[in-house]
């Protein structure tokens, strides 16, 4: 097993309980809040007696992922895996009467340029509450997976 329940609990405490509002509000804007958050987060993983390399990976990747909000790049890239065509149904005849249904497929941009999606990795037309929560979930999955791999293999 790569991830244990203990690791999930330690991750939750480090990322939510021991992260102050100041850290959360400023870690993507400045080095110091991101560094302090990464250290307070990572210290909890000493409970697992990691190797120095594993501890360094946990600390370093947590700093980088949070400081530069790297999960949004993962989210943006994965959105390109979706369909590139969408089904369009038109409910009018050639005279503009809505008496029968035609359909065709049109090419679509699955996510938009990164400049359009830079906040959360999702396009602007996505509901902000949904984009924010999906970004948080992706961020957590990145951290937990990296931590588990570091603890198991380093």
pLDDT digits (tens, 9 = 90+) for 14-59: 999 999 999 999 999 999 999 999 999 999 999 999 999 999 999 9
pLDDT of residue 129: 94
pLDDT of residue 115: 77
More confident residue, 102 or 62: 62
Whole-angstrom Cα distance, residue 134 to residue 146?
A: 18
R_g of the chain, CA atoms, integer Å: 21
How far from the centroid of its chain's Cα atoms is residue 15's Cα? Answer: 14
In 24-135, the DSSP E strands lie at 85-90, 102-107
CA angle 118, 134, 147 (to 5 degrees): 95
Whether 145 has a pLDDT exceeding 80, the answer reads yes
Inter-residue contact 45 to 58 (CB < 8 Å):
yes
- The mean predicted confidence, pLDDT, of the chain is 87
- Give the side-chain half-sphere CA count within 13 A for 42: 26
Q: What is the pLDDT of residues 80-133, one digit of tens each?
A: 776 655 666 656 666 666 555 555 555 565 566 777 788 898 888 788 999 999
């Amino acid at each position: 097993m790569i991830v244990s329940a203990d690791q999930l609990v330690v991750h939750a405490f480090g990322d939510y309980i021991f992260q102050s509002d100041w850290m959360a509000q400023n870690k993507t804007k400045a080095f110091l809040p991101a560094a302090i958050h990464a250290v307070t987060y990572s210290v909890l993983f000493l409970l697992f007696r990691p190797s120095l390399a594993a501890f360094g990976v946990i600390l370093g990747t947590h700093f980088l992922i949070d400081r530069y909000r790297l999960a949004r790049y993962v989210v943006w890239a994965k959105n390109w895996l979706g369909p590139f065509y969408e089904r369009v149904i038109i409910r009018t005849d050639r005279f503009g009467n809505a008496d029968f249904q035609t359909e065709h497929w049109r090419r679509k941009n699955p996510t938009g340029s990164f400049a359009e999606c830079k906040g959360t990795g999702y396009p602007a037309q996505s509901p902000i509450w949904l984009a924010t929560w999906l970004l948080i979930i992706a961020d957590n999955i990145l951290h937990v997976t990296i931590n588990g791999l570091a603890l198991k293999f380093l």
